């Protein structure tokens, strides 16, 4: 094929899904000349599956990428049609924000952000080859023959690499939602030394809201007052849309089980590995055979469409079976299926081939982000896109990468899990993966990450100034609460009203009063004129700090122990194969992954505590030999 020179850029981002958008914006906003290449301009930031952002643990990722200067949180705040805080019956550590999004408006909002971003060029095209020279990236070639020169590439191709759509025995070479797939890049990645794997995910059918009897369903309301993802957004008072809850039943289950061998997943057509944590309805019936029903949420796809998403009914059954099972659901007896659910298989890489910065271990300037790394979910993809974009920018500026640890944020957990442990199925973030989740809450993401990200140039001065003001207010509130006050009539009356024990005599610190979950800062401020700060976010931080004071202190001690292992650096030229005392599996895993420190080494599957003891002895000997 004849090629032609099409332009020169600092970095080329392949893909404009949730990972690609964040990566491209991060690079361009740090003053890199950036090209974002997408298969279809009408699919920028497309929500091909559920039109929602956030959810358990995923809301944490959105708040964290927002705190570091990402776009998803702000865009979600502008385009949601319903917003709710999940897990409110549990502690603040697992509170997770979830928003139903207007699918079309979100796409338009993100596409506009990319089109209007200085230093960023958004172009439709398909990359077929990544070019390298002397072990470094130096360009790409598109299917049309356009050759772009660049110093770095970020691969954020999502589920489009040689993807197949499967509905029963129907198979189409296609990307999600009938879009084109990418045919050429898989071969290029293989030639570059990346063994490819086949993963699978799926989506439920969409139905016409005009044909649903919502009176037979349970309405699901948004929260008031309304929440927000971004620390820069103001709270909205917009009218929220309704979602609905219905359930499968014995008739639904009979139709599915009677036809389960016609499902692409069970007929043998699908060879890719699916995710345990987002099973199809077929899998649910097999794995949870004792359950009489499964809940389904009927969710609108936007304000300008009647399409409703049937969350919980992901399937690869034939279209006729999907219609039959939908008609067994309360309120959907006469519904019209507008789009059938489907399974999708696609190529992805093993993330163990990546450094913790998401740069390739063997090709300089080649970064990966999103579902190409074996993950699933919009939020996981966006977080990786931002992270890869930041580290690509730092790489091109000859600066050290930004490596977030497991104690810094959920993004750090995500990156460490992928690059250190790898994954044999589509990876999904969960709160249980975060060891220090009491410290890694949604509400304090800016307190944890904005200053860390400030050196990247992605955090605006406005955002940084807002954080500094919040910290100042927290310090003022904390100092005022440290004051001891007598337990006079007004305080005793408040405690009695709240059913709390009244101290018998002497003074009491206001901070200790605030530790009682029934007492709020606002109530104390009404009694004491020394509590003058009226900053909702700062007050929230202080209230949580008071209520979890002892637990937070213990978790901080755990983090300090964790940091000591992370600070024990491993030389990158260690010959693990020649190290006496290491088991064969440990030698192979350590040589392949080449961990940066003892902490990372300890998290590698196949490396035992005994192997870590050998590494520690090696470090001590090395220090003694060099007089450290």
Lowest mean pLDDT among 123-137, 140-154, 412-426, 484-498: 484-498
3-state secondary structure of 161: strand
Structural domain includes residue 113: yes
3-state secondary structure of 80: strand
Distance CA 276, CA 544 (A): 33
Please give the backbone phi and psi of residue 269, each rounded to the nearest 5 degrees, phi first.
Answer: -65, -35
373 and 393 in a single domain? The answer is yes
Rounded to an integer, the average pLDDT of 479-495 is 92
Determine the pLDDT at residue 216. Answer: 98
Residues 512-571 pLDDT 10s: 999 998 999 999 999 999 999 889 999 999 999 999 999 999 999 999 999 999 999 999
Cα–chain center distance at 460 = 22
The conformation of residue 214, written as its DSSP 8-state character, comes to G
Distance CA 296, CA 311 (A): 6
Determine the pLDDT at residue 265. Answer: 86
| CATH code, 595 | 1.10.150.570
Which residue is listed with tokens 């990156």? 415
450 and 469 in a single domain? The answer is no
Determine the pLDDT at residue 70. Answer: 98
Structural domain includes residue 541: yes
Determine the pLDDT at residue 627. Answer: 59
601 and 528 in a single domain? The answer is no
Determine the pLDDT at residue 506. Answer: 78
Distance CA 214, CA 332 (A): 8
pLDDT at 628 over 60: no
Q: With cut-offs at 50, 70 and 90, classify the pLDDT of residue 625.
A: confident
| CATH code, 521 | 1.10.10.1800
Rounded to an integer, the average pLDDT of 402-430 is 96
Share of the chain above pLDDT 90, in %: 91
Structural domain includes residue 440: yes
Domain, as residue range, for 23: 4-204+346-454
388 and 428 in a single domain? The answer is yes
585 and 513 in a single domain? The answer is no
Structural domain includes residue 295: no
pLDDT at 400 over 60: yes
Structural domain includes residue 176: yes
Q: With cut-offs at 50, 70 and 90, classify the pLDDT of residue 100.
A: very high
pLDDT at 158 over 60: yes
Rounded to an integer, the average pLDDT of 562-581 is 91
Determine the pLDDT at residue 272. Answer: 83
pLDDT at 624 over 80: no
Q: Which of 558, 587, 614 corresponds to the end of one domain?
A: 558
Q: Which of 558, 586, 617 corresponds to the end of one domain?
A: 558
583 and 473 in a single domain? The answer is no
Residues 597-614 pLDDT 10s: 999 999 999 999 999 999
User: Judging by DSSP bridges, how do beta strands 295-300 and 218-220 pair with one another?
Assistant: unpaired
pLDDT at 204 over 90: yes
- What rounded mean pLDDT belongs to the chain? 95
Structural domain includes residue 404: yes
DSSP secondary structure string, 397-437? Answer: TT-------TTT-HHHHHHHIIIII--SS-B---GGG-TTT
pLDDT at 65 over 80: yes
| CATH code, 78 | 3.50.50.60
Lowest mean pLDDT among 342-356, 368-382, 570-584: 570-584
20 and 111 in a single domain? The answer is yes
Structural domain includes residue 431: yes
Determine the pLDDT at residue 620. Answer: 87
Q: With cut-offs at 50, 70 and 90, classify the pLDDT of residue 1.
A: confident
Q: Which of 503, 526, 558 corresponds to the end of one domain?
A: 558
Number of domains in the chain: 3
486 and 368 in a single domain? The answer is no
Share of the chain above pLDDT 70, in %: 100
Q: With cut-offs at 50, 70 and 90, classify the pLDDT of residue 51.
A: very high
Residue 373 Cα distances to 187, 190, 198, 199, 526, angstroms: 16, 14, 11, 10, 52
Q: Which of 350, 212, 206, 220 is nearest to 273 (CA)?
A: 350
pLDDT at 60 over 90: yes
Distance CA 80, CA 78 (A): 6
The conformation of residue 182, written as its DSSP 8-state character, comes to B
Determine the pLDDT at residue 389. Answer: 98
Whether the CB-CB separation of 336 and 207 falls below 8 Å is answered with yes
- Tell me if the pTM is above 0.75: yes
439 and 575 in a single domain? The answer is no
Q: Which of 61, 56, 67, 62 is nearest to 411 (CA)?
A: 61
Determine the pLDDT at residue 588. Answer: 93
47 and 192 in a single domain? The answer is yes
pLDDT at 141 over 90: yes
Whether the CB-CB separation of 199 and 273 falls below 8 Å is answered with yes
Structural domain includes residue 283: no
Distance CA 313, CA 293 (A): 12
pLDDT at 626 over 70: no
580 and 597 in a single domain? The answer is yes
Over its C-alpha atoms, the chain yields an Rg (Å, rounded) of 26
List the Cα angle 418/424/430 in 5-degree steps.
Answer: 55
99 and 196 in a single domain? The answer is yes
């Amino acid at each position: 094929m004849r090629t032609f020179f099409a332009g020169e850029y600092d970095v080329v981002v392949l893909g404009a899904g949730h990972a690609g958008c964040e990566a491209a914006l991060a690079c361009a906003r740090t003053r890199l000349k950036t090209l974002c290449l997408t298969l279809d301009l009408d699919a920028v930031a497309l929500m091909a599956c559920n039109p929602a952002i956030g959810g358990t643990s995923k809301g944490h990722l959105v708040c964290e990428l927002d705190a570091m200067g990402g776009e998803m949180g702000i865009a979600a705040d502008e385009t949601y049609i319903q917003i709710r805080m999940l897990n409110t019956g549990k502690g603040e550590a697992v509170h997770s924000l979830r928003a139903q999004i207007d699918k079309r408006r979100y796409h338009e909002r993100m596409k506009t952000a990319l089109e209007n971003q200085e230093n960023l060029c958004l172009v439709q095209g398909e990359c077929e080859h990544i070019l390298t020279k002397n072990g470094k990236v130096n360009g790409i070639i598109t299917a049309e023959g356009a050759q772009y020169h660049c110093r770095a590439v970020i691969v954020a191709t999502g589920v489009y690499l040689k993807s197949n759509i499967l509905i029963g025995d129907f198979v189409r070479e296609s990307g999600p939602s009938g879009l084109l797939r990418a045919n050429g890049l898989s071969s290029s990645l293989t030639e570059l030394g990346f063994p490819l794997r086949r993963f699978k995910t799926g989506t439920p059918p969409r139905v016409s809201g005009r044909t649903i009897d919502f009176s037979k369903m349970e309405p699901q309301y948004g929260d008031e007052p309304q929440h927000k993802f971004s620390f820069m957004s103001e709270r909205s008072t917009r009218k929220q849309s309704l979602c609905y809850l219905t359930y499968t039943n014995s008739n639904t289950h009979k139709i599915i089980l009677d036809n389960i061998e016609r499902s692409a997943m069970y007929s043998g057509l699908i060879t890719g590995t699916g995710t345990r944590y987002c099973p199809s309805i077929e899998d649910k019936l097999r794995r949870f055979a004792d359950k009489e029903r499964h809940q389904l949420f009927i969710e609108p796809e936007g304000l300008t469409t009647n399409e409703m998403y049937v969350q919980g009914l992901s399937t690869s059954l034939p279209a006729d079976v999907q219609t039959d099972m939908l008609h067994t659901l309360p309120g959907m007896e006469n519904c019209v299926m507008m789009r059938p659910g489907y399974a999708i298989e696609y190529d992805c890489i093993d993330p163990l081939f990546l450094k913790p910065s998401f740069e390739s271990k063997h090709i300089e300037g080649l970064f990966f982000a999103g579902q190409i790394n074996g993950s699933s979910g919009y939020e996981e993809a966006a977080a990786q896109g931002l992270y890869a974009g930041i580290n690509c920018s730092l790489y091109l500026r000859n600066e050290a990468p930004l490596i977030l640890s497991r104690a810094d944020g959920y993004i750090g957990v995500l990156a460490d899990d992928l690059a250190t442990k790898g994954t044999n199925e589509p990876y999904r973030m969960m709160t249980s993966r975060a060891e220090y989740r009491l410290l890694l809450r949604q509400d304090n993401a800016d307190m944890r990450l904005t200053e860390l990200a400030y050196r990247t140039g992605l955090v605006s001065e406005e955002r940084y100034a807002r954080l500094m003001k919040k910290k100042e207010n927290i310090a003022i509130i904390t100092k005022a609460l440290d004051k001891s006050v007598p337990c006079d009539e007004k305080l005793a009356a408040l405690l009695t009203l709240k059913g709390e024990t009244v101290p018998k005599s002497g003074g009491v610190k206001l901070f200790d009063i605030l530790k009682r979950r029934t007492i709020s800062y606002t109530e104390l401020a009404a009694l004491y004129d020394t509590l003058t700060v009226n900053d909702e976010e700062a007050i929230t931080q202080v209230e949580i700090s008071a209520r979890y004071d002892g637990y937070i202190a213990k978790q901080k001690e755990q983090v300090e122990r964790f940091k000591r292992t992370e600070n024990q650096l491993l030389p990158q030229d260690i010959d693990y194969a020649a190290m006496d005392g290491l088991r064969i599996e440990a030698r192979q895993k350590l040589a392949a992954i080449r961990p940066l420190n003892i902490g990372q080494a300890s998290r590698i599957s196949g490396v035992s505590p005994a192997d870590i003891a050998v590494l520690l002895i090696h470090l001590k000997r090395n220090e003694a030999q060099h007089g450290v």
